[in-house]
């Protein structure tokens, strides 16, 4: 596709989205996900219309109940008269690069509601619990007019801090069964969360888990926003109303004139860091694979003639050189 036809296609999709055409919305997300020229044109056209939605990321270990909670939260937001866009990210297989995206199963009741748009995404090899393009997909749903955008991350462990770069409010979900996990919880994850949920509060040990979280929060550095801890039973919906209230509170905080600018700068910086990091590594490695430089550097390190750090430096120097003569988008 030529640059101008991609621009036109992106513009058409953006117009379709403005008219409320859901097929155009779905198609636009596909392009953003592929990060192709049409997807970039869509994002460029839509970005000025973003900023209205409250965006909420839901993260936590595998099986803690993220999907169940997101479905409940979406239903609660619908009761409050808000339309909801959902992005559910599942892992891609590192071997086949395929993925089995099963989050719709737990969100059945929502799928016949015209006020809900649910999109499953594969992480496509991106680390950090999110697909690289997730923040772009959030922007598209925001521009499409959804009042709330919920993002469920891959439940892999404790490294899903990146959700903080795609959404304004990050909810970290744990469960009573995760007592040891809370004890060893990484500061990084605690710091990106603006809300902590102890889900499966129907199981024994929920109060202990809450106490452990509060103790951890007490020793964290003081912040402008104190993360509340909410007990919930996603299966029955208990605690979900309170969670929605707390999210609204945090959103008021984020949008409060006294913090709005700083909050937004933090978010945008995190987004740029994520995008640049991913793009740089992809470019450096693609170019080095193509030219054979990667193979020869590996040979040198294997033979211990070079150390890995200087090999990495050499790869980065390689893209700096190609960037200087980078051809225009095709």
Partner 1 sequence: MTAGAEQERRIRVLIAKPGLDGHDRGAKVVAASLRDAGMEVIYTGIRQTPQMIAEAALQEDVDVIGLSILSGAHLELFPRVVDALSERGIGSDDVLLFCGGIIPRVDWEAVRELGFRGVFGPGTDTREIASFIREQLPTLPARAL
Ligand X SMILES: Nc1nc2c(ncn2[C@@H]2O[C@H](COP(=O)(O)OP(=O)(O)OP(=O)(O)O)[C@@H](O)[C@H]2O)c(=O)[nH]1
Q: Which residues bind partner 1 (CB under 8 A)?
A: 1, 22-23, 26-27, 29-30, 33-37, 92-93, 96-102, 104-105, 108, 111-112, 117-120, 122, 124, 132-133, 279, 282-283, 285-287, 290, 322, 326, 329-330
d(Cα 190, Cα 216) in Å, to the nearest integer? 9
Residue 266 touches which member of partner 1, Mg ion, ligand X, none, C-beta under 5-8 Å by kind? none
Q: Which stretch binds ligand X (CB under 6 A): 79-87, 195-203, 206-214, 248-256?
A: 195-203
Residue 50 touches which member of ligand X, partner 1, Mg ion, none, C-beta under 5-8 Å by kind? none
20 sits near ligand X (criterion: CB under 6 A)? no
Give the SS3 label for residue 11: helix
Give the SS3 label for residue 320: helix
Least Å distance, CB 46 to ligand X, is 28
Residues 125, 94 contacting (CB under 8 angstroms): yes
Size of residue set near Mg ion by CB under 5 A: 2
Residue 112 touches which member of partner 1, Mg ion, ligand X, none, C-beta under 5-8 Å by kind? partner 1
174 sits near ligand X (criterion: CB under 6 A)? no
Q: Which stretch binds ligand X (CB under 6 A): 135-143, 228-236, 252-260, 304-312?
A: 228-236
Q: Would you say 25 or 185 has its CB closer to partner 1?
A: 25
- What are the CB-based long-range contacts (under 8 Å, 24+) for 177-185? 177/203, 177/205, 178/61, 178/64, 178/209, 179/205, 179/208, 179/209, 179/212, 181/61, 182/209, 182/212, 182/213, 182/216, 183/212, 185/158, 185/216
C-alpha distances in Å from residue 253, one per residue of 23, 164, 195, 243, 257: 35, 16, 13, 15, 9
Q: Which stretch binds ligand X (CB under 6 A): 22-30, 62-70, 205-213, 288-296?
A: 62-70
d(Cα 61, Cα 213) in Å, to the nearest integer? 15
61 sits near Mg ion (criterion: CB under 5 A)? no
C-alpha distances in Å from residue 274, one per residue of 125, 165, 222, 270: 14, 8, 26, 6
Residue 63 touches which member of partner 1, ligand X, Mg ion, none, C-beta under 5-8 Å by kind? ligand X
CB neighbour list of residue 299: distance below 8 Å, 6 or more residues apart = none
135 sits near Mg ion (criterion: CB under 5 A)? no
Residue from 59, 67, 133, 168 binding Mg ion (CB under 5 A): 67
67 sits near ligand X (criterion: CB under 6 A)? yes
C-alpha distances in Å from residue 150, one per residue of 23, 66, 78: 20, 11, 12
Residues at the contact surface with ligand X, assessed by CB under 6 A: 62-68, 106, 155, 199-200, 202-203, 233-235
């Amino acid at each position: 596709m030529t640059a101008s036809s991609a621009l036109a296609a992106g513009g058409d999709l953006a117009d379709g989205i403005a008219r409320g055409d859901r097929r155009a919305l779905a198609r636009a997300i596909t392009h953003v996900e592929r990060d192709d020229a049409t997807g970039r044109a869509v994002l460029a056209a839509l970005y000025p219309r973003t900023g209205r939605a409250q965006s909420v990321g839901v993260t936590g270990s595998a099986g803690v109940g993220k999907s169940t909670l997101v479905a409940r939260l979406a239903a609660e937001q619908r009761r409050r008269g808000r339309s909801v866009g959902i992005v559910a990210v599942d892992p891609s297989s590192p071997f086949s690069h395929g993925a089995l995206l099963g989050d719709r199963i737990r969100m059945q009741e929502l799928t016949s509601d015209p006020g809900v748009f649910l999109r499953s995404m594969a992480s496509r090899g991106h680390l950090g619990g999110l697909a690289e393009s997730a923040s772009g997909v959030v922007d598209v749903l925001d521009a499409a007019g959804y009042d709330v955008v919920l993002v469920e991350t891959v439940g892999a462990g404790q490294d899903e801090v990146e959700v903080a770069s795609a959404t304004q409010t990050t909810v970290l979900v744990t469960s009573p069964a995760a007592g040891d996990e809370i004890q060893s919880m990484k500061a990084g994850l605690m710091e990106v969360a603006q809300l902590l949920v102890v889900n499966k509060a129907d199981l024994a040990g929920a109060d202990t888990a809450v106490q452990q979280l509060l103790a951890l929060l007490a020793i964290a550095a003081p912040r402008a926003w104190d993360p509340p801890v909410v007990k919930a039973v996603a299966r029955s919906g208990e605690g979900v109303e309170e969670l929605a209230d707390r999210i609204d509170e945090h959103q008021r905080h984020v949008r409060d004139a006294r913090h709005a600018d700083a909050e937004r700068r933090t978010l945008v910086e995190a987004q740029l860091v994520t995008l640049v990091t991913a793009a740089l590594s992809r470019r450096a490695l693609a170019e080095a694979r193509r030219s054979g430089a990667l193979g020869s550097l590996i040979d040198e390190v294997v033979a211990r003639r070079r150390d890995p750090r200087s090999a990495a430096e050499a790869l980065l120097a390689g893209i700096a050189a190609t960037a200087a003569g980078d051809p225009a988008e095709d």
